[in-house]
Amino acid sequence: MRNDVNETSHLIGDDGVYENVKIRQAKVFIALCRIITVALAVLGFMALFVGTR
Amino acid sequence: MYNIKKRIYEVLEVSSVGDKSSRAYDVMITAAVIVGLLPMTMKGENTYTRIIELFTSLIFFADYCARVYTADYKMGFKSVRTYFAYIITPMAILDILSILPVIALFVPVSGFIRLLKLFRFFRIFKLIRYSKTMIIIANVLRKVKKQLFAVLILIVIYIFVSAMLVFQLEPDLFNTFFDALYWATISITTIGYGDISPVTPIGRMITMISALMGMAVIALPTGIITASYMNEITRKKSKYEL
């Protein structure tokens, strides 16, 4: 185990692999940003479609 | 120790190479700005534009709160005054103005509310933060603001003098002094709609001089900005080479 691994900064995943909490949070944040971006694009497209019909 | 506040600041600022979180955030805000401006391209409103307005305003509000929270990193000093100092910066004012149009969703439409809706336009300035070239241009404009202000004063004086001269020489042509100001501005900028044109020889002479001098005066800001922009680019290049 690496020196920087401690109980608070790591989780154990379902497959038994250590996962860094910060990396996990970053992944969730990136996924959230991408979902919002796609949602905005869909809303924009729908607004244009309905607004110019 | 992991500093969450510093990390929020890094995510809010323009992304550095390899910072995926910051990059994803920049893309999301850029999408919110572009989609948030869409209602301005339509005549009426529909359900989707109202959802867009609410959704983008929530995003911008969260962004604003996060920026105020991390103001001490942005401003470079830690104090309660930092937050107040940040709130009155031009970009923070533009941020809050771009959120205000959401009020139009909850109150009856009136003249003031129509004006408030126009504030959506301020959202375009948010994009400045996410483009390195735009940041350079903003820095250039900040550096030459005194020269530009001097040129602006010169242009205003020139327009007023031309308008006053032609207003006195062509009293039948202009109903009000505002018409003369309008004519002078249209002539100096070489737009020349032609809806108001002098008929007397002396009036035409003033127009000719005004148009010729106007070209030189209007070209001044272009030269100032271009020279400063080139200096900035050269400075950045030499800094990079060193």
Phi and psi based region of residue B18 (left: phi greater than 0; alpha: psi -120 to 50; beta: remaining): left
Cβ of residue B59 closer than 8 Å to a chain A Cβ: yes
Measure Cα distances from A37 to A43, B32, B122, B161 in Å: 10, 7, 20, 52
Q: What SS3 state is found at A11?
A: strand
DSSP B18: T
Are B49 and A30 inside 8 Å of each other by CB? Answer: no
ipTM surpasses 0.90: no
Residue A18, H or E segment: strand A18-20
CB within 8 A of A13, min separation 6: which ones? A19
The long-range contacts involving B207-216, CB below 8 angstroms and separated by at least 24 positions, are B207/B166, B210/B162, B210/B166, B210/B184, B211/B187, B213/B158, B213/B188, B214/B158, B214/B187, B214/B188, B214/B189, B214/B190, B215/B190
Nearest CB partner across the interface for A33, out of B25, B39, B47: B25
Q: pLDDT for B50-96, tens place per residue? A: 999 999 999 999 999 999 999 988 888 778 888 888 999 988 999 99
Residues B217-225, mean pLDDT to the nearest whole number: 89
List alpha helices for chain B, DSSP H.
4-12, 20-37, 47-69, 71-75, 80-87, 90-99, 111-118, 132-143, 145-169, 177-188, 201-241
CB within 8 A of B72, min separation 6: which ones? B78, B79, B82, B83
Are A37 and B46 inside 8 Å of each other by CB? Answer: no
**Of B214 and A5, which is predicted with more confidence?**
B214
Residues A21-40, mean pLDDT to the nearest whole number: 91
What is the per-residue pLDDT for A36? 96
What is the per-residue pLDDT for B76? 81
Look at residue B117 and tell me whether its pLDDT is greater than 90. no
The answer to pTM > 0.80 is: no
Residues A8-22, mean pLDDT to the nearest whole number: 68
Look at residue B120 and tell me whether its pLDDT is greater than 90. no
Cβ of residue B34 closer than 8 Å to a chain A Cβ: yes
What is the per-residue pLDDT for A1? 45
Instruction: Tokens for B30, please give them.
Output: 């850029």
Are A44 and B47 inside 8 Å of each other by CB? Answer: no
Cβ of residue B92 closer than 8 Å to a chain A Cβ: no
What is the per-residue pLDDT for B63? 94
β-bridge mates for residue B19, sequence order: none
d(CA B140, CA B228): 6
Torsions phi, psi for A10 (to 5 deg): -130, 150
Vertex B63 angle, CA B57 and B66, to 5°: 140
What is the per-residue pLDDT for A31? 95
Are A50 and B47 inside 8 Å of each other by CB? Answer: yes
> What is the residue type of A25?
Q
Are A40 and B35 inside 8 Å of each other by CB? Answer: yes
What is the per-residue pLDDT for B241? 64
Most B-contacting residue of A40, A49, A52, A53 (CB-CB within 10 A), to test interface: A40
β-bridge mates for residue A18, sequence order: A12
Are A37 and B51 inside 8 Å of each other by CB? Answer: no
β-bridge mates for residue B232, sequence order: none
What is the per-residue pLDDT for B163? 93
Name the residue of chain A whose CA is nearest to B55's CA: A40
The long-range contacts involving B114-122, CB below 8 angstroms and separated by at least 24 positions, are B120/B36, B120/B37, B120/B39, B120/B40, B121/B37, B121/B40, B122/B94, B122/B97, B122/B98
Cβ of residue B169 closer than 8 Å to a chain A Cβ: no
Cβ of residue B25 closer than 8 Å to a chain A Cβ: yes
Rg (CA), chain A: 19
Closest residue by Cα to residue B220 from B168, B150, B135 = B150
Most B-contacting residue of A4, A8, A33 (CB-CB within 10 A), to test interface: A33
